[in-house]
Amino acid sequence: MKYDEIPSDLFTNNRSRLAAALSGKALAVVHSADIPWRCADGSMPFLQNSDLFYLSGIDQEETILLLMPGHPDPALREILFVRETSELIAIWEGHKVTIEEAQKISGIGTVKWSSEFDAVFRRLVREAETVWLNHNEHGRSSAPVNFSLDDRFRRLCQERHPDLRYERLAPVLHRLRAEKSDHEIALVQRACDITAKGFERLLRFVKPGVMEYEIEAELLHEFVRHGSRGFAYQPIIASGKNACVLHYIVNDQPCRDGDLLLLDVAAEYGNYNSDLTRTIPVNGKYTPRQRAVYDAVHRILRLCIDELIVPGKHLKDVYHKEVARATEDELIALGLLDPQVVAEERAQEDLPEEKRAYRKYFMHGVSHSLGLDVHDVTPAENVFVENMIVTVEPGIYLPEEGFGVRLENDIVVKTGGNIDLMAHIPIDADEIEAMMAATA
């Protein structure tokens, strides 16, 4: 792996927290991801199932974790199954983790080959009162049914053992994964630090005439050379009016003199992700209008980080509405909204947010959880919790004026003051202009 060895304490503690949440004679099963096939005999890069990595640290296909915390035999409370290698596999695919390596990485004492899973599961399932099965229950997932190994195993298990009691593992894992440990925060910070290096490289590189895809290449070079697998997500490198397409990923246009360049780009590290957005002037200098909009978005971002985000606050019902009202005030000051219209809308408490006038200029959410997934899982309660890592990403988009501004930092939610993991990445407009001028 490109990343440094992660202490096994992270995964041991994660399993302990999960074990404490499983009552009675519980048996839980989590599978690795499939190798994603592309076409013919080609495959795409392997990306581990986040839940399996969270609980074991194994970054390899054909891995299964079986947990039975209440079993009287300590050796059977945690069992990890990994793929058995061979001389042929080593020649064609390279090294696979050994049993001893898997023990060291995961902190699990009982490690077996994946071919032994069926026999062990048939034995332990007879002793279980409840079987906990995993499934991707992210609210925005559109993956088809029976898409993953977890999905296929769930269907097979329920067919073979219809009389057992089954529970959903995902809601439990969502609550556990929302609160990040010190190890996890450090891994996200490492991803943020690599992202910072890429952004600083861009401030020296961007100028009129550069292609969006050239900027993408510069970022990838910087990310990989510092131990990242690459981009945490498909990069958005949007110059001029392209910034008003929220998920613009074509990245094939020239950056023109006088345009703003919206960069929603970030690195991952050790399967943990960062998420950064900056908006910079292609020629190194914001116009007065661009600067006014930029400063408005920057003020909203600071308000979120310094005042609005606190543990216990509901994201959608409270926080997003607070940000919306602040955005309305900024849009009025920019001459984009009629204050009378805004006042009338505020008097209508039951008016849906998507019907309000500000949505013409700010049409997406403000914050999402971040971690092993870029849009990380969150509990059904959808509230900020202590040590949760979230993004803060306000924006204002003006297609009629040919530009948009979005800014984004990643923070750790803390009582008494949030921690900005990207505080060291330039964001103030004066600082960005000064850095671009110094390298012109």
Tell me the three state secondary structure of residue 394: coil
Residue 279, token pair as written in the block: 């908006």
Is residue 142 very low, low, confident or very high in pLDDT (cuts 50, 70, 90)? low
**C-alpha torsion angle, residues 143, 58, 194, 250 (rounded to 10):** -30
What pLDDT is stored for residue 197 in this prediction? 98
pLDDT (tens digit per residue) in 300-359: 999 999 999 999 999 989 999 999 999 999 999 999 999 999 999 999 989 999 999 999
Instruction: Tell the burial category of 131 from Cβ atoms under 10 Å away from its Cβ (0-12, 13-18, 19+).
Output: buried
Is residue 277 very low, low, confident or very high in pLDDT (cuts 50, 70, 90)? very high
Tell me the three state secondary structure of residue 402: coil
What pLDDT is stored for residue 146 in this prediction? 60
User: What separation, in Å, do the N-terminal and C-terminal C-alpha atoms of the chain show?
Assistant: 37
Q: What is the DSSP letter of 350?
A: T
Domain 182-438: state its class: alpha beta
For the annotated catalytic residues, the residue numbers are 41, 247, 264, 275, 364, 368, 375, 393, 397, 406, 408
Query: Whole-angstrom Cα distance, residue 353 to residue 320?
Result: 10
What pLDDT is stored for residue 95 in this prediction? 95
> Whole-model pTM?
0.96
Is residue 144 very low, low, confident or very high in pLDDT (cuts 50, 70, 90)? low
pLDDT (tens digit per residue) in 145-172: 567 898 999 999 999 999 999 999 999 9
Contact 128, 25 (CB under 8 A): yes
How many Cβ atoms from other residues are within 10 Å of residue 336's Cβ? 19
What pLDDT is stored for residue 145 in this prediction? 57
Domain ranges of the chain: 9-178, 182-438
What contacts 350, CB < 8 A, 6 or more positions away?
A: none
Domain 9-178: state its class: alpha beta
Within 13 Å and on the Cβ side, how many CA atoms surround 230? 9
The pLDDT of 261-266, averaged and rounded, is 98
What pLDDT is stored for residue 143 in this prediction? 66
Contact 268, 45 (CB under 8 A): no
Contact 130, 26 (CB under 8 A): yes
> Please, what is the average pLDDT of the chain?
95
The pLDDT of 127-139, averaged and rounded, is 89
Place of tokens 């978005």: 297
Is residue 36 very low, low, confident or very high in pLDDT (cuts 50, 70, 90)? confident
Q: 417 vs 305, 307, 320, CA distance in Å?
A: 9, 9, 19
What pLDDT is stored for residue 188 in this prediction? 98
Is residue 41 very low, low, confident or very high in pLDDT (cuts 50, 70, 90)? confident
Within 13 Å and on the Cβ side, how many CA atoms surround 160? 12
Instruction: Tell the burial category of 345 from Cβ atoms under 10 Å away from its Cβ (0-12, 13-18, 19+).
Output: middle
Contact 414, 385 (CB under 8 A): no
What pLDDT is stored for residue 1 in this prediction? 73
